[in-house]
Structures are given as structure tokens and as C-alpha cells.
Amino acid sequence: MSVSTSLIPSVAPWFRHAAVATVIAMAALSPAHAQQRNPGQKVGETIFDQPAQSYRFERFVVESADHARRWRVNVGVPTRQAKTPAPVLYMLDGNAAAMVLDQAMLAELAAKAAPVLVFIGYDNDLRIDSPSRTVDYTAWIDTADDENGTPQSSGGGAFAFMDLIERRIKPDVQRRANIDPTRQSLWGHSLGGLFVLSTLYTRPGAFQQYVAASPSLWWSQGAPQGDLERQFIANNHGHAAKVTVMLGGDERTGNRGVRDMTNPRVVAHLRRIGGATPDAAQQLAGRLAAVPGLSVDYREFPGLGHGPMLPASLKATLSALYGITDRSAEPADAAAAP
């Protein structure tokens, strides 16, 4: 493992089982999703709304079988696409990810590896859709007390969401761009980082590069550190993949900044994240590094907490994968912090 400082589930088709629909309905109604400091923040103007320069963007919407949920996918294709198949980066929380990139970054990407960029978000104007991502990004149902002390259950839709990506999103992307299926990467932050890991554990061949930024290993009382991980480690048998685990320095030390401890919602959230030690992601990287076939990198970002890790980790990922300038140390827009 390189370090820098700066259950095997049965995966069913989408909505095949009524249990999946039940979990989704339960999570949509539950306030127990991972806490966002500004849950109503809107996206605003992004690279999708600007005239095409080095990249052009195409959009399509995927709808659930019961027409109750919609995912918005934006595909960025270099305007001068190479004749050879291009690498592709799939990004979760696509609306938030779009707020990280600008035209200068796109121009540098196009001049370097010219990857196809896929932003998987939700069909609304929210930067982060907390209830929806709580369903899609979690392979375990979490039950915890809300701010009123009432037990709430949420999550559990990750395997269905994996099917959605594999069976509906990837084929549409491949129709729109010349993709190299041997150079596919997946990035996610927080619960998205957790989804990256559960995808690695259950579908290690779906992508060649897995980037888990600040993964929410505390989810469901630390269940992500349990059977699924152990079964993957025991059974991987040399399947090759590159794995990057990223963590903010303040996250590892448990420095969560100034929190309003008179706010029941804050107190409830802090109680929930006690399901994993602050350095759990670092420890996970060490365990994965011992798995034959995996190339594991752990990168820590000094002084950064959980929210600022979203833009920092995405910028670092674009640099590591495609050779552009590493802008991860640049101050994040305060308005973009969750």
C-alpha cells in the first residue's frame, strides 16, 4: 500500500423484489439519512449550462420501473474525441461533482487523457439529494434514533443501484461515447465512498479503479466493516483492481470542528457516526492492501474535514487518473460545503 499525506449478496435486477421497493419507500420517508449541513442547497450554474468548449455534454434521465424515482446523468465527451477508446470516470452525487469542475480543468483534461466524464445525479436541482442517496449508496439498512429519540430505518438499496448503473446507465453512455471498457473508474464521497467499497466487494470487475473518499464506515453501527468486507478479502483470489482510499486529516483525528450540541439533530448524527473509529478508513486501506491483486493507495488531506473532502478528493482523483494539475489544496467554495 502506498501512503501519502498532503453476506455475499444476491444482486437482483432493478425492483425485482418487493423488499427493495419497501426499503426505498421507508428511506424516502425517514429523516435518519446521513446529515447534511445545508440539505436544501441548490446547484446553480455549472459546466453543463455553459457553451461547449473542450467538452460537450449530453443528458439523459433514467426512471425507476414504478416511475417514482428519476436519475439524471450528464455525459461529458471531449469535443475533439480521440479515435481510440477513451477512459471513463463515473462520479456519484453528480450534481455536486459538477460544481467542482470548471472550464480550465476541462481544457486540461481534454489536452491530457481526454476521459469521458459521467455525472450520476438525481433529476432535481439539489446539490445533494440526501434521502435518495441514502437509499442508493448503502448496502445495509441502518436503524438509529432521530433527534426526537424515535428509531428510524433507512438504506439498503445499493445492490439495486449497482444493477441500474450496469444495465441502464453504462449501456447508454457507451452509445454516446467511444469508451474503453478496460479503463473504467468509479468515484464517490461519504455514502458515495461507501457505495464504491460495496461495489468493489461484490462486483470487483465492474470497474478497474475504485476511489472511496471519506467512506461512511460508521453506517449501520459499523456494518460495512463486517461480513461483506471479510468475504471479499477471503475470496478475491487475485482479481486485479486499483483502490484509492482518501480521508481528511481532521476526520482521522476526530476533529469535527464547532458543533451546536444544543441541536438534537447534530447530537443524533454524532451518536450515529460513533459506529466507526475516526481512523477506520485508514485501517481499511491497510487491510485491503494485503489482498492479492489489489493495488491500494491511501491518501490523507491535512486539515480537511468531511465536507471539504468532496471537492478536494474529486480534484485529486482527476489529477491522479488523468495527469492534470492537482488542485485539491485550493480552497473550496464555502457555499459548496455540505
DSSP 3-state assignment of 9?
Answer: coil
Length of the chain: 338
Q: How far apart are CA 36 and CA 262, in angstroms?
A: 17
Q: Count up the domains in the chain and report the number.
A: 1
The one catalytic residue in 251, 300, 313, 328 is: 251
pLDDT tens-place string over residues 50-61: 999 999 999 999
pLDDT tens-place string over residues 177-205: 999 999 999 999 999 999 999 999 999 99
Average pLDDT of the chain, as a whole number: 86
The predicted pLDDT at position 262 comes to: 67
pLDDT tens-place string over residues 220-268: 989 999 999 999 999 987 889 999 999 999 999 987 665 665 665 665 5
Q: How far apart are CA 26 and CA 29, in angstroms?
A: 5
The predicted pLDDT at position 132 comes to: 96
The predicted pLDDT at position 194 comes to: 98
Q: How far apart are CA 6 and CA 315, in angstroms?
A: 13
The predicted pLDDT at position 8 comes to: 31
Q: How far apart are CA 157 and CA 251, in angstroms?
A: 26
- Amino acid identity at 312: A
Handedness of CA 298, 299, 305, 311 (dihedral sign): negative
The one catalytic residue in 190, 214, 216, 220 is: 190
DSSP 3-state assignment of 304?
Answer: coil
The one catalytic residue in 54, 306, 313, 328 is: 306
- Report pTM: 0.86
Q: How far apart are CA 68 and CA 154, in angstroms?
A: 17
Residue 306 falls in the annotated catalytic set: yes
Contact 43, 127 (CB under 8 A): yes
pLDDT exceeding 70 applies to what percent of the chain?
80
Q: Residue 46 belongs to a domain with what CATH number?
A: 3.40.50.1820
pLDDT tens-place string over residues 287-301: 999 999 999 999 999
Contact 31, 268 (CB under 8 A): no
Q: What is the span of the domain harbouring residue 72?
A: 2-336
pLDDT tens-place string over residues 134-156: 999 999 998 766 666 767 788 89
